[in-house]
Amino acid sequence: MASSAPARPTGTSSTPVPLKWVGPLRISSPALGGTQEISVPLATYETPLWPSVGRGARVSTMVEEGIRAVVVDERMTRSILLEADDAATALAAWRRLEDSREKLQAVVATSSRFARLIDMHVQIVGDLLFLRLELTTGDASGHNMVTLAGERLMDHILATIPGVRYVSPSGNYCIDKKASAVNGILGRGKNVVTEILLPREVVERRLRTSAAAVEKLNVRKNLIGSILAGSLRSANAHYANMLLGFYLATGQDAANIVEGSQGVTRAEDRDGDLYFSCTLPNVIVGSVGNGKGLPEVDEALRLLGCREEREPGENGRRLAVLAAATVLCGELSLLAAQTNQGELMRSHVVLERGAGRGDRVQAPPAQDPVS
Amino acid sequence: MASSAPARPTGTSSTPVPLKWVGPLRISSPALGGTQEISVPLATYETPLWPSVGRGARVSTMVEEGIRAVVVDERMTRSILLEADDAATALAAWRRLEDSREKLQAVVATSSRFARLIDMHVQIVGDLLFLRLELTTGDASGHNMVTLAGERLMDHILATIPGVRYVSPSGNYCIDKKASAVNGILGRGKNVVTEILLPREVVERRLRTSAAAVEKLNVRKNLIGSILAGSLRSANAHYANMLLGFYLATGQDAANIVEGSQGVTRAEDRDGDLYFSCTLPNVIVGSVGNGKGLPEVDEALRLLGCREEREPGENGRRLAVLAAATVLCGELSLLAAQTNQGELMRSHVVLERGAGRGDRVQAPPAQDPVS
Amino acid sequence: MASSAPARPTGTSSTPVPLKWVGPLRISSPALGGTQEISVPLATYETPLWPSVGRGARVSTMVEEGIRAVVVDERMTRSILLEADDAATALAAWRRLEDSREKLQAVVATSSRFARLIDMHVQIVGDLLFLRLELTTGDASGHNMVTLAGERLMDHILATIPGVRYVSPSGNYCIDKKASAVNGILGRGKNVVTEILLPREVVERRLRTSAAAVEKLNVRKNLIGSILAGSLRSANAHYANMLLGFYLATGQDAANIVEGSQGVTRAEDRDGDLYFSCTLPNVIVGSVGNGKGLPEVDEALRLLGCREEREPGENGRRLAVLAAATVLCGELSLLAAQTNQGELMRSHVVLERGAGRGDRVQAPPAQDPVS
Amino acid sequence: MASSAPARPTGTSSTPVPLKWVGPLRISSPALGGTQEISVPLATYETPLWPSVGRGARVSTMVEEGIRAVVVDERMTRSILLEADDAATALAAWRRLEDSREKLQAVVATSSRFARLIDMHVQIVGDLLFLRLELTTGDASGHNMVTLAGERLMDHILATIPGVRYVSPSGNYCIDKKASAVNGILGRGKNVVTEILLPREVVERRLRTSAAAVEKLNVRKNLIGSILAGSLRSANAHYANMLLGFYLATGQDAANIVEGSQGVTRAEDRDGDLYFSCTLPNVIVGSVGNGKGLPEVDEALRLLGCREEREPGENGRRLAVLAAATVLCGELSLLAAQTNQGELMRSHVVLERGAGRGDRVQAPPAQDPVS
């Protein structure tokens, strides 16, 4: 027999995750309406992350435009799964769906006033039909919105197209919170590109390294090392750390760091200056939705300027740009530190002593020393 | 010029993530010393996760052994990165390292009394040498332990092996918090296999589905759908959701859900009974380390029975088994729900009404309806 | 000093690869104008492949429609690579290109009368712009056609869009002859789905197995086993073997078996009958182009009915369907054999004896016994 | 009814694939017993490959050591697949197998005098046990040898270990001829690293480019471009082309170019000189076995010096080194060409004219212009 269960708390409580505002970062982006200096909140148990991102943030303020950020694309997706009489029937169904986008748009409109169908992709595998629905979802990350739209479309398809049958409201060709290639190729969430050009003296004095050293390390570790590990569309040091901290602080569904982690860092020595760029194809955030009403989250969103009256989608894009710029700060700081033998371990010792004394930490910082 | 920065909070605060204890689950495992019934804490903004896991938990108590769980492997890894004079020198260095494991073990021992080198793997790419160090790390998840051991070994190698030079304390062949294949193949964290055999009547009455339907959906969605999405060693519906909730509640470095999400669900119809299994090769948890001293986390670990005096590693394995069993509960519940057209959306509406009223939810539950 | 080079043949000669016509297969496809029985040539050093495919072919003739095949999509691709002043400039360039498809179409038309631009996709990574051009290419596989079209478009872009510069005529986002996900998701070559429904008695008497056994093996080996291996959009036993033999016999650029190998086998027990399907998203073949004028190749294409006067593209699609149906035959035969312990090794012994005597082989055949 | 089948040839014939000896290449390798100049045969329908590889070969002779090549590892693998009573039983079986390697070695020895078990790896997924057997196989590529050894071990395991049952002689964790990560990480075939350091003047005058330009292109195309394409352990321009030509000319099972294509090109500007390296973890070749007895193949192997009386394995390693060095030549030539806008298309026009006249081609060559 099973041993008896220990007593356990009932009802709902909460786990407080340590949070600190880091910055300010200087960011230039159409999504911010120009150039801004702004601090960002990071909730994490791995507190060395704070000074690490902080160092990157300080560096961003030493360049006129700071971190430049553009939102290349945005969409949320759901793939419904149908079974057809055979592959030919599946193909015929797909062609019919392609030809009736206007009607499908109308069906989607019944599910939400923010949902809009912007594209569809298909995979036919034998007699199975995976239909990837791609929608804009206003300021919401949109998980529930695409699910509801998907169910409505499923009902419509089953009612109007012969020879197809229900299999699942999701066929994993969406794909949510799994390591895959489709989200980077077809898009899911906000695709944000960030970049900064750091003058040689900033690289040398503030990051204690050189553009050439960072470029070389990035190629060998983030590109080649990741390739050897059998990575998939992942070429970075630790995007997941920054995304997790930012997502938790702003009430996001942080399990989306799985695809969020899949981005590409570039570093190039440009005549001694450092071109540094982080491309994050799958920043999945919203300024409304589950969790956003909690007081601490609401306050964080307000301080980030994401509670303003704006066109639908603008608050969401703003949030995505802030998340991506935060990633750049942490990525830059860690790579710079790793170019110098022993720096990470030394800074960690300092950080831990500081933490032990409750002091502010001045040392060259780095989170998880060797992600 | 940049617009002025808004005021922002200074000092350290925290973000409270909603938490609920779910269960009990019935679990049989050598890591638990037999069969136990035990509840688990889930911290998440996506509160429909609670009843979803809860339904799976209830089902687990209807089988004598409940969920069976075994820890197949455990290790934590760090890959240091060196540059050699050429590939032949890199190969010679590797062969020398292979022949001096005893000495390397002694070096590792100077870094921590818990760290023990259990294996090494290498990748030689041109004149670069990626050395993947694999250690046991007691009850800690071991990120810092392997980093420190790696630095000590790096120093030792640089001092004793000619023709090699420092590149980085981490070469991303570890690999930490990135979507990759290496962690599943060579191991990182605890590799936990969970399984349960559910009698036909439990499947029909409690999950309102059939073994045949769950098997078919699992093949089409979790296996084929994930393959189409270009997934990497990922064949499940939503492991990341349960891992995130469990990791946050127990003070883990939750960014490790990236590799944690990469596991395989199996479902087989065995004469009407349902064989259901979740294999999680990369459960990265510890009962000691960063974050574990926070009062809420400490209390959660205590209630989970992971604060006992045991052999080093036992509390960590216990924690891993509990995490993995929690995953199985949520996975089973969601798959069962998706076999029935419309069930997820209906249950969501009920859940949201329930949440609005603050009521207990009785309805067939499901988290993110169509992950 | 280097040792002296051995004498070596000069001029051009050839390597004769053993070839056998296998079949007939029975195939139903719009690309064949209905149902046909037709034999196919396989050139290979691995001669056990012949009886293996032959067994599958015989089975196909026992079903009225035989193997049903549909061409879901066709295109050939090339990704040119440009560098922009920054990410915003890259994005602006992309939007301008999207808005000028008609003009781009006209540029493409100058490169070939068969080339037609049907779609474009983009990846922006920092200040780099990867532009994936997607064309139909008539009866040619189209490698050279897309390259020439790409160069013309590159010239046009550099002349008309400010702020972008040449990097490469190919940026590997095409992607040619590499293991990737993009070709399966966005398409490259002909996407062909084949399927057959085999009555129980055919499965039992001709394949000496059962639908249930083949389904189970397919899930465990082709789906789960491949996933464990860290495979990418690959879930089959040995597509590459059949494609290589068919490609060599018909003068194709057989290095495209790399992406050709990435397809999905499905097997389902349908009340004792066996539903069996092979989906090949990347069959890259042409009936014209390099190698097609060699006498043996020309004769093979003629016998396959791919030298007829037809609309551009029809001969190419016909070829793709024949290739894919051949794959199904070999895949079915091998999987059936592997359900029975020891069958493969026994048949191999028989085959080798048969080969030694120059006899026809009657035994249950299987190529590379356990691919 | 099916239309009647066209007549088709009976019996065995052959397809002659055009072949040319290219070179000589200068290569230094322990596998060659030092430095040698040697030409290599390439059988291909894509004849522009010849001058492309030829250009790389010429360059290799301008450096004292030429191309340096080392064999880092060699093994051939087969994963048998078993089903156990449950995961715990699977784990117990695995531990028992680990503890009885000597006995397993003896079983392997009964299958072939060349087969030797050097390692095993396992994957346990629910109650399934994938056992990856790793053997050295003398001068054979070893497909059949590992299959036979696997069957013997399977028989032994089923006879001696309780609670496990037969599933398949191959569970795809081997993995053969599929795009995967496991072969690069655990090894399959010969793992060969090649490298060359080209003086600035050779780069400029013979390749008409610069080390900086090649480095930059390699990072952007082969590394980043491939990553964007969702590639798996693939970072090169066209390894598959050279491997196919070499494999066909030497009687190899050329379907193994699938995993052969998965390698990493490095290019670094070292003070104006070009460090260039190709790492090919999965060169699967043999100097004995299927196809090797055909007169043309036998002659090619003899001319390559792979028909000598040597220790088992030496002829095979020699062949692998020659294959890998050939890859380097073609890779170098194509990358150099792509750094210059328009060079590939111009050279192609020249090549085609040359081909039309039957002339020798002098122009800067490049195969498939933009792989």
- D172 to chain C: nearest residue by CA? C225
- Give CA–CA dist D131/D142, Å, rounded: 17
For D82-108, the pLDDT digits (tens) are 999 999 999 999 999 999 999 999 999
D348 carries an active-site annotation: yes
- Contact B227/C235, CB-based, under 8 Å? yes
Query: Which residues in chain B touch residue C213, judged by CB atoms under 8 angstroms apart?
Result: none
Q: How many A/B residue pairs have CB atoms within 8 Å? A: 399
Percent of chain C with pLDDT over 70: 91
Quick one: tokens of A192?
């944000």
ipTM: 0.94
The dihedral built from the CA positions of residue B286, B287, B292 and B293, taken in this order, carries a sign that is: negative
Q: Token digits for D156?
A: 């032994």
Smallest Cα distance from C59 to chain D, Å = 15
Distances (CA, A) of A312 to A27, A309, B131, B282: 22, 9, 49, 39
The residue ranges of every structural domain in chain B are 19-73+189-354, 76-168
Query: Is residue B271 less than 8 Å (CB to CB) from chain C?
Result: no
Distance from CA of A72 to the nearest CA of C (A): 7
Q: Are strands D264-270 and D128-136 parallel, antiparallel or unpaired?
A: unpaired
Partner-chain contact B45 A251, CB within 8 Å: yes
Please name the chains neighbouring A, where neighbouring means 3+ C-beta pairs under 8 angstroms: B, C, D
Q: In the prediction, which pLDDT does B343 show?
A: 79
Mark whether B296 is an active-site residue: no
Task: Say which of B88, B127, B185 has its CB closest to residue D181.
Answer: B185
Give residue C8's pLDDT: 77
Measure A50 CA to nearest chain B CA, in Å. 10
Nearest to B127 among D91, D195, D230 (CB): D195
Inform me whether the pLDDT recorded for B13 exceeds 90.
Answer: yes
Residue D351's pLDDT is 53
Q: Using CB atoms, pick whichever of A3, A15, A238 lies closest to residue B16.
A: A15
Residues 6+ apart with CB under 8 A from D31: D69, D70, D71, D314, D317, D318, D320, D321
Query: For C114-134, how does the pLDDT look when each residue is reduced to its tens digit (9 = 90+)?
Result: 999 999 999 999 999 999 999
Nearest 5 degrees, angle CA D239-CA D244-CA D247? 120
Low-confidence ranges of chain D (pLDDT < 50): 1, 352-370
**First-to-last C-alpha distance (Å) of chain C:** 44
Q: Is B253 marked active-site?
A: yes
Q: D interface mutation test: which of C228, C252, C284 has the most D CBs within 10 A?
A: C228
What residues of chain D lie within 8 A of the CB of C36, using their CB? 2-3, 5
**B181 Cβ under 8 Å from any chain C Cβ:** yes
Q: Which residue of B has its CA nearest to C221?
A: B223
C179 contacts D240 by C-beta, under 8 angstroms: no
| pLDDT at A286 (0 to 100) | 98
User: Could you give the percent of chain A with pLDDT greater than 70?
Assistant: 91
Beta carbons within 10 angstroms of residue B308's beta carbon: 10
Of B1, B20, B257, the CB nearest to A12: B20
Min Cα distance D100 → chain C (Å) is: 24
Residue A49 is which amino acid? Answer: L
Cross-chain residue pair A275–C68, CB shorter than 8 Å:
no
Strands (E), chain A: 12-29, 34-43, 67-84, 116-125, 128-136, 164-168, 189-198, 264-270, 273-283
Q: Which fold has domain D76-168?
A: Alpha-Beta Plaits (3.30.70)
Question: Which pLDDT score is estimated for C178?
Answer: 98
C44-54 pLDDT, tens digit per residue, is 999 999 999 99
Q: Please give the average per-residue pLDDT across B161-178, as a whole number.
A: 97
Taking CA–CA distances from D29, the nearest residue in chain B reads: B88
pLDDT at A260: 98
From the number of C-beta atoms within 10 Å of its C-beta (0-12, 13-18, 19+), residue D358 rates as exposed
Q: What pLDDT, in 10s, does the model give residues C69-105?
A: 999 999 999 999 999 999 999 999 999 999 999 999 9
Mutate to test the interface with B, among C219, C227, C270 (most CBs of B within 10 A): C227
Cα(B319)–Cα(B335) distance, integer angstroms: 25
A181, C186: Cβ pair inside 8 Å? no
- CA distances C244 to C26, C143, C177, C249, D367, Å, are 21, 18, 13, 8, 20
Inter-residue contact A93 to A39 (CB < 8 Å): no
Mutation for testing the D interface, residue in B127, B223, B236 having most D CBs under 10 Å: B127
CA–CA separation, C293 and D49 (whole Å):
18
Chain B positions touching A166 (Cβ under 8 A) are: 341
Q: What token pair was written down for B298?
A: 């400490």
Task: Flag whether residue C136 sits within 8 Å of chain D, measured between CB atoms.
Answer: no
The Cα–Cα gap between C147 and D370 comes to 7
Q: What is the pLDDT of residue C4?
A: 53
Which residue from A minimizes the CA distance to B128?
A220
The answer to whether the CB of C75 falls within 8 A of the CB of C47 is: no
Instruction: Report the DSSP pairing between strands C128-136 and A116-125.
Output: unpaired
Q: Under an 8 A CB cutoff, do B68 and D87 touch?
A: yes
C312 to chain D, any CB pair closer than 8 A? The answer is no
Q: Does B264 touch chain C (CB under 8 A)?
A: yes
The highest-level CATH class for domain C19-73+189-354 is alpha beta
Residue B358 has pLDDT above 60, yes or no: no
Please list every residue in chain C whose beta carbon sits closer than 8 Å to the beta carbon of residue D166: 341
- The answer to whether D163 contacts chain B (CB < 8 Å) is no
Rg of chain A (C-alpha set): 23
D270 touches D197 (CB < 8 A): yes
Among B73, B193, B228, which would you mutate to test the C interface (most chain C Cβ atoms within 10 Å of its Cβ)? Answer: B228
Q: Is A219 part of the contact surface with chain D (CB cutoff 8 Å)? A: yes
Cβ-based contacts of B226 with chain C (< 8 Å): 227
pLDDT score of C284: 98
Query: d(Cα B283, Cα B337) in Å, to the nearest integer?
Result: 26
pLDDT beyond 80 at C255: yes
* Rg from Cα positions in chain C: 23
* Nearest CA-CA distance, residue A232 and chain D, Å: 6
Q: Which residues of A touch C125 (CB under 8 A)?
A: 193, 264, 266, 277, 279
D184: nearest CB among A230, A235, A266: A230
Contact criterion met (CB < 8 Å) for A266 and C91 = no
Residue linked to tokens 């052994």: B65
User: Is residue B269 predicted with pLDDT exceeding 80?
Assistant: yes
3-state per-residue secondary structure call for B339-364: CCCCHHHHHHHHHHHHHHHCCCCCCC
Confidence of residue A5 (pLDDT cuts 50, 70, 90): low
| Residue of C128, C156, C172 for testing the chain D interface, max D β-carbons within 10 Å | C172
Interface membership of D227 toward B (CB under 8 Å): no
